[in-house]
Amino acid sequence: MLGCVGGRAAGPAGSPVPLPPSPVPQPTVDSLLAALTVRQQVGQLIIPWLSGSYTALDDSLFQVAARWVDSLEVGGLIISVGSPFDIAAKLNALQSRSRLPLLVSADLEWGAGMRVVGATAFPQIMAVGATGDPRDAYTIGAAAGAEGRAVGIHVNFAPDADVNNNPANPIINVRSFGEDAQTVSRLVAEYVRGLHDHGMLATLKHFPGHGDTETDSHIGLPVITAPYARLDSLELVPFRAGIAAGADVVMSAHIAFPALTGSNEPGTLSAAVLTGLLRDSLRFRGLVVTDALTMGAIVAEYGAGEATVRAFLAGSDLLLMPADPDSALAAMTAAVAAGRISHERLGQSVRRVLQLKRQLGLFERRTVPLDSIMHIVGSRRFQDAANDLAVRSLTLVRDIGGRLHALRAHPGRIALIAYADEANGAAGQHLAEQLRQGGDTVEYFRLWPMSGTLSYDSARAVIGRAPATVFAANVRPISWRGNIALPDSLAQLIAATDSARPTVLVSLGSPYLLNQVPSVKAYLIAWSGVRPAERAVALALLGRVPIGGHLPIRIPPGYPVGWGVAVPSVRP
């Protein structure tokens, strides 16, 4: 224990060690707000998108971001994909030049690995619905919080509080915990707690609910026609639970709710939704953020500047990813000057932003130490947790005729046909490697969304050389695509192969693939295409782990919520 000697601390060898400096008192929110011009106050509400990839300080892309900080004096940034060091160094550089600390946000729904290369990638959160264990939701939140804060991120735009009660939903799907509102509520609350316990702010999205849609709001305007009674008993239930758990932020949905608004006005632009329902009825006192203002449901109709003004007037605080930050700043400042936005209303939002920055301690320290990153990001404890969750979430929907059981019984020869979008170039490769290490002989072939006749002919040749086939399909929600489905040519290949030889269909994403290939006899869901999920599938096909997950959603017409075929492990 250190002893004090004349204002100095004595170390174990008696050498003097400087005492830590006295903490600098954080400025009050009132004093900060009073020092800001109207333009600077508006800047605090604008959150542009920033790539996380490396750029030199004199690179034109970095200079754009530097101008946002220096000239527009934006209040924060939303960071995208990059390495831990690239993200942290870029944010440190921008934080150091910003007049006020920046509030940095990111989408880390299934862990920091969603944006930070090398950080822990958990399966999509519907996997937690498949285990039904709230501790798994807490773990994802905890890992996202610890790893995200290590690289300079303060706000996770998660958890997704949507109840995915529409199997045709093209953009939520596995991003939701499931379709039972009470279960989703418990898991949302634990995810929030995991974030908070590790220093990160939590966001509930997409208010008041994006689960019952069939249109991607990145492209067009979904309309939910359900009456208020249904919204109150289903969609709003997890949001109430998240608010009760202390969620700091709520993100609006670019969706029309005629039962709430009396029109097809998007929720993001509706005072009835963001002020009447969220603030007044649900009594949310935190920060309201728009979904991305670049999305087609908003910007195409109203334009970059007017969309931000309307969103603010409806009740938003933060204006996320305006199509043009300059236009957003100019339009908001002009709206204040014209009296459309009162100084009092502007001050309320800026006060909320400054209070959160103060709560996070950003006025004391706004940069992160680079030498701590390798101790936290991607650490073994988080990776082990992701592997464990991936195994326990595996859900066997059916195994007619014991196709899967036969594969698990002993090593064999397998044709592995993998499918995923172009962004996932390594789809199925880790699965193939793990199967080979386990003793199987595997011939691997990769199909893509743009694969043509020659590729499918090659896939058939690979299938013909093995006695059994595994299809591993990563069909997942992708912004701007507008649908979530297997290509018809692949669905036909799966059905034909299944009718001719032992076949197992593994979903590394959407659980609803069975609707396209209803005749397939063995169907296993792993919920995600991340490495832990592929590893879990390999262990399951090798018979080395049990399968015990349960559907958190129904798969019409025959499989209800809670369904799952339990299978013990059969090989050491």
- For residue 101, give the CATH number of its domain: 3.20.20.300
Q: Has residue 9 got a pLDDT over 90?
A: no
Over the stretch 404-456, which tens digit does the pLDDT of each residue have?
Answer: 999 999 999 999 999 998 767 688 999 999 999 999 999 999 999 999 999 99
- Check whether residue 326 and residue 464 sit in a common domain: no
Q: Has residue 571 got a pLDDT over 90?
A: no
Q: How many CA atoms lie within 13 A of 24 on its CB side?
A: 8
Which one of the listed residues 136, 216, 291, 440 is annotated catalytic? Answer: 291
**For 368, left (φ over 0), alpha (ψ -120 to 50), or beta?**
beta
- Check whether residue 234 and residue 362 sit in a common domain: yes
DSSP state of 513: G
- Check whether residue 141 and residue 267 sit in a common domain: yes
Over the stretch 15-31, which tens digit does the pLDDT of each residue have?
Answer: 344 455 555 677 899 99
Helices (H), 339-474: 343-359, 373-376, 380-393, 403-409, 429-437, 453-464
221 pLDDT band (50/70/90 cuts)?
confident
Over the stretch 136-189, which tens digit does the pLDDT of each residue have?
Answer: 999 999 999 999 999 999 999 999 999 999 998 888 999 999 999 999 999 999
- Residue 94 structure tokens: 């921008």
Q: Is 27 inside any structural domain? A: no
Sign, CA dihedral 277-109-484-130, equals negative
- Check whether residue 402 and residue 351 sit in a common domain: no
Helices (H), 121-257: 126-131, 134-150, 181-196, 228-233, 236-244
Q: Is 248 inside any structural domain? A: yes
The pLDDT of residue 338: 98
- All residues at 6 or more sequence positions from 141 whose CB lies less than 8 Å from its CB, including other chains: 156, 159, 190, 191, 192, 193, 194, 195, 197, 198, 200, 202
- Check whether residue 187 and residue 321 sit in a common domain: yes
Domain count, the chain: 2
305 pLDDT band (50/70/90 cuts)?
confident
Q: Which domain holds residue 466?
A: 394-541
393 CB burial (10 A radius; 0-12, 13-18, 19+): buried
Domain with residue 430: its CATH number is: 3.40.50.1700
In whole angstroms, give the CA distance from residue 51 to residue 48. 10
- Check whether residue 324 and residue 420 sit in a common domain: no
Residue 156, φ and ψ in degrees, nearest 5: -95, 120
214 CB burial (10 A radius; 0-12, 13-18, 19+): middle
Q: Is 291 marked active-site?
A: yes
- Check whether residue 277 and residue 247 sit in a common domain: yes
The pLDDT of residue 398: 98
Q: What's the whole-model pTM score?
A: 0.93
- Check whether residue 482 and residue 356 sit in a common domain: no
Sequential DSSP letters for 58-122: TSHHHHHHHHIIIII--SEEEE-SB-HHHHHHHHHHHHHH-SS--EEEE--TT-GGGTBTTS--P
How far, CA to CA in Å, does 443 sit from each of 400, 459, 550? Answer: 24, 10, 31
Q: How many other β-carbons are positioned within 10 Å of the β-carbon of residue 369?
A: 10
Q: Is 562 inside any structural domain? A: no
Domain boundary among 376, 403, 424: 376
In whole angstroms, give the CA distance from residue 136 to residue 389. 7
- Check whether residue 234 and residue 113 sit in a common domain: yes
- Check whether residue 341 and residue 400 sit in a common domain: no
Q: Is 458 inside any structural domain? A: yes
- Check whether residue 200 and residue 125 sit in a common domain: yes
What 3-state DSSP class applies to 570?
Answer: coil
Q: How many other β-carbons are positioned within 10 Å of the β-carbon of residue 351?
A: 17
Q: Are 313 and 305 in contact (CB under 8 A)?
A: no
For the chain, how many residues are written?
Answer: 572
- Check whether residue 142 and residue 290 sit in a common domain: yes
Q: Is 403 inside any structural domain? A: yes
Q: Are 564 and 549 in contact (CB under 8 A)?
A: yes
- Residue 531 structure tokens: 């490495």
Over the stretch 324-375, which tens digit does the pLDDT of each residue have?
Answer: 999 999 999 999 999 999 999 999 999 999 999 999 999 999 999 999 999 9
Supply the mean pLDDT for the chain: 92
The gap from C-alpha 553 to its chain's centroid, in whole angstroms, comes to 19
Q: Is 153 inside any structural domain? A: yes
153 CB burial (10 A radius; 0-12, 13-18, 19+): buried
Mean pLDDT value of segment 264-279: 93
Q: Is 548 inside any structural domain? A: no
In whole angstroms, give the CA distance from residue 253 to residue 215. 12
Over the stretch 62-114, which tens digit does the pLDDT of each residue have?
Answer: 999 999 999 999 999 999 999 999 999 999 999 999 999 999 999 999 999 99
Q: Is 28 inside any structural domain? A: no
